[in-house]
Structure 1
Amino acid sequence: EGRDKLVKQVREKINELGVTYIYYQFISVTGRIVGKGIPADHWERTAERGFQLVYGSTANLFVDRQGDYIGYGPESSELVGIPDPETFCQLPWDKRVARVFCTCFRNREERKNPGGHLTSDCRGNLRIIHNEFQDKYDGLHMRCGTEPEMMWLKRGEDGRPNGGVTKPNCYHIDQFEELRPTFMKVIEYSQAMGLDIIQGDHEDAPGQLELNTMYDDVLRNADRLTTYRQICAQVAREDGLIACFMSKPFMGVSASGCHHNMSLWRG
């Protein structure tokens, strides 16, 4: 009953906001965002039955050094992705489009554990592990806040990275100011999608910024970190830049990290 109510509330949002297309997305084992796009007219059917993708999409459909698909072969069945309606959100840069995070399950026709949890669904694993922790410790739960560092890089004529937009001067406001048009757009989009940006600064690598969000439930924080990366990628497209989240894209300068501030709560 609770889920049915949420599904109806999403339909009301779709109609109210004029959304016509929805990204149904989940997270691969390496943190990539994968999924399908489906017209909003099919929201109720997709919310009930889900969509199908090959199991290997949870490993990016990449191959190993021998040329074999990682984790699953091409003969494997297809997973079923079921949307979590409480994560539905309109994209501020194209209000015709929304996104919703999904949980992945095994195919319903599998001989073993049909319709069961897909163990390569890292986001689903986080939810299961956290729920088990809460059950074991009488409601004790984890909240987390993250401090993602990343680099804004110039795009050369060949489309490849051509150095950072700013100099590697840590905490210098003049370098922070150089990127103000970019990070203010990131903050605008972030706030529109429910992220509470609490502080930021220029770090000590070329074009390296850090914008921090308020801590929250561990799964909700993970979704927001994913959303933040999507927002940065969109702003980079708009500004003709590259939003680089690689941990060490260049030798000789500081790497990009992501501090995790974790705490345990009751109530």
Structure 2
Amino acid sequence: MKTFTKEDVLEKAAENNVKFIRLQFTNIFGTLKNIAITVEELERALEGQISFDSSVIEGTVDRHESDILLNPDPSTFVIFPWRPREGAVARLICDVLNPDGTPFAGCSRSVLKRNLAEAENKGLHLQVGAEIEFFLFQTDESGKPTVITHDQAGYCDLTPVDMGENARRDMVLTLQEMGFDVSSSHHEIAPGQHEIFLKDDDALAMADSITTFKFVVRTIAQRHGLHATFMPKPVSDVNGSGMHLQISLWRNDQNVFFDQTKPNGLSAIANRFIAGLVEHAGALTAVANPLVNSYKRISANDLAPVLAGWSENNRSAMIRVPSWRGAGTRVVLRSPDPSGNPYLVVSAALQAGLDGIERGLHPPAPLKEDIPAWEIKNVIREKGLPRSLEHALKAFKQDEVIWRALGESISSRFLRVKEQEWERFQSKVHRWEIDEYLRNY
């Protein structure tokens, strides 16, 4: 993570002829927001003197909003490469504060910082990498997105079959120019689907990166006449998009998930962390898969992470432990999708794992590598993740650890808004129902 000071930001803004600065922040539901200021206001902004009302953070407008302040993090200063060099545009990611300078309870970035500080007090440092999938679709004559893919390519195909290669290359180059450490990129299994892999970083920096990543990918796609979507399952009958988190815990520069004295190389801490994730799988799913549409992705098929368990190779498990050992030992949480708020997803996963460590939980036996198609539905009934947003929210409501990880303010607002979302979905008649029933009933 960069260590810019306020003075560094002012100096770099002047050196690079920055004219506008976007003060960016994320609302409870993971949507990136911003307030644009001119460079003349930058010094005042760096002192935390830009104010607005809390409705933009909480995602809804009601009669109980409060005044809040933006507190930019100087280490997040970056200039947008796609904007003109003359009159350049930069951004700063902000924490949200109360007028008295304390963290605003609805600020998900502050929530992650609190959870990471709790881990640090136990001598543990969280590192996270992210494999993020998305679709590229064509737009219509009015520029509105369609669900028509721009190619019919498959896993790791090349041009000319992979027609998104140029857009994806520009995305990677832009991300690298902005300081991202990109490990790889490729075409995914479904037509029009792509993946970019961000290398491990400090958990807070990675959550910042995921939020920025989605903004950059959509911006570059638009410049190619395409629409990038992180909707988990935009097209029926093909794979949905996931956001696999590669998690490792460190103490004094040592990966505490690794123990060379154990037959499989996994330490007691690693096993307990995995057990905590499985223990809290239901509530964690509500945070990591927060849309009605999310549950169209985590349904029974060969690749969807539908089971609350772990394995080295079974792709139906929510957790995979790759074969790498030593410093590369990690737990891959495969169930999240990219619609989730990364600050809250990482917070929930961390506290679930810490709970497993503190309580000395033992993980279930690893799932066998090959579960026949005829058996998978029976296994899902016993060990499956929630099958709908409604079921996930019920688990979330009852889980004190995950509720506490997000805090009372965010948890209660998240639950209320998501229950309303489920009820709106339930009240609508969908195309499938018309096609299935109208003719026969």
Q: Which TM bucket (shorter chain)?
A: 0.7 to 0.9
| 8 Å Cα contact 1:176/1:201 also seen in 2 | no
Query: In the comparison of the two structures, how many residue pairs are matched?
Result: 246
| 8 Å Cα contact 2:158/2:165 also seen in 1 | no
Q: CA deviation at 1:244?
A: 0.5
**In 2: Cα distance, 1:86 partner to 1:244 partner:** 28
C-alpha distance 180-39 of structure 1, shift in aligned 2 (>3 A): same
For the pair 1:84 / 2:73, whether they are aligned, the reply is yes
SS in 1 for 2:47: helix
Q: Partner amino acid for 1:121?
A: C
| 8 Å Cα contact 2:48/2:72 also seen in 1 | no
Which stretch shows the higher mean deviation, 216-225 or 73-82?
A: 73-82
**Which of the pair is proportionally richer in strand?**
1
For the pair 1:164 / 2:149, whether they are aligned, the reply is yes
CA deviations 1:100-130 (Å, max 9, x no partner) are 0000012x2xxxxx43211111111101110
For the pair 1:128 / 2:114, whether they are aligned, the reply is yes
| 8 Å Cα contact 1:163/1:206 also seen in 2 | no
SS in 2 for 1:210: strand
**Which residue of structure 2 lines up, in the alignment, with residue 231 of structure 1?**
216
| Structure 1 residues not aligned, in runs of 5+ | 62-68, 109-113
C-alpha distance 38-172 of structure 1, shift in aligned 2 (>3 A): same
**Which residue of structure 2 lines up, in the alignment, with residue 142 of structure 1?**
126
**In 1: Cα distance, 2:204 partner to 2:160 partner:** 33
C-alpha distance 39-264 of structure 1, shift in aligned 2 (>3 A): same
Q: CA deviation at 1:155?
A: 0.5
**Which residue of structure 1 lines up, in the alignment, with residue 270 of structure 2?**
none
**Which of the pair is proportionally richer in helix?**
2
Computing the radius of gyration from Cα coordinates, the structure with the larger value is 2
**Which residue of structure 2 lines up, in the alignment, with residue 24 of structure 1?**
23
Give the TM-score normalised by the residue count of structure 1. Answer: 0.87
**Which residue of structure 2 lines up, in the alignment, with residue 36 of structure 1?**
35
CA deviations 1:20-74 (Å, max 9, x no partner) are 110001111111111200001111111113311221111334xxxxxxx3xxx24
Which one of the candidate residues 67, 89, 101 is aligned to 1:97? Answer: 89
Give the TM-score normalised by the residue count of structure 2. Answer: 0.54
For the pair 1:183 / 2:168, whether they are aligned, the reply is yes
**In 2: Cα distance, 1:10 partner to 1:176 partner:** 44
**In 1: Cα distance, 2:81 partner to 2:101 partner:** 34
Percent identical residues:
28
CA deviations 1:126-173 (Å, max 9, x no partner) are 0111012101x12x2000000000001111224231411111522223
**Which residue of structure 2 lines up, in the alignment, with residue 119 of structure 1?**
105
Q: Partner amino acid for 1:141?
A: H
C-alpha distance 247-175 of structure 1, shift in aligned 2 (>3 A): farther
SS in 1 for 2:45: helix
Q: Partner amino acid for 1:23?
A: R
| 8 Å Cα contact 2:95/2:110 also seen in 1 | yes
C-alpha distance 176-38 of structure 1, shift in aligned 2 (>3 A): farther
**In 2: Cα distance, 1:199 partner to 1:128 partner:** 31
For the pair 1:222 / 2:214, whether they are aligned, the reply is no
**In 2: Cα distance, 1:171 partner to 1:11 partner:** 43
| 8 Å Cα contact 1:6/1:85 also seen in 2 | yes
**Which residue of structure 1 lines up, in the alignment, with residue 182 of structure 2?**
197
| 8 Å Cα contact 1:175/1:202 also seen in 2 | no
Q: CA deviation at 1:262?
A: 0.3
Which stretch shows the higher mean deviation, 34-43 or 174-183?
A: 174-183
Q: CA deviation at 1:175?
A: 6.5
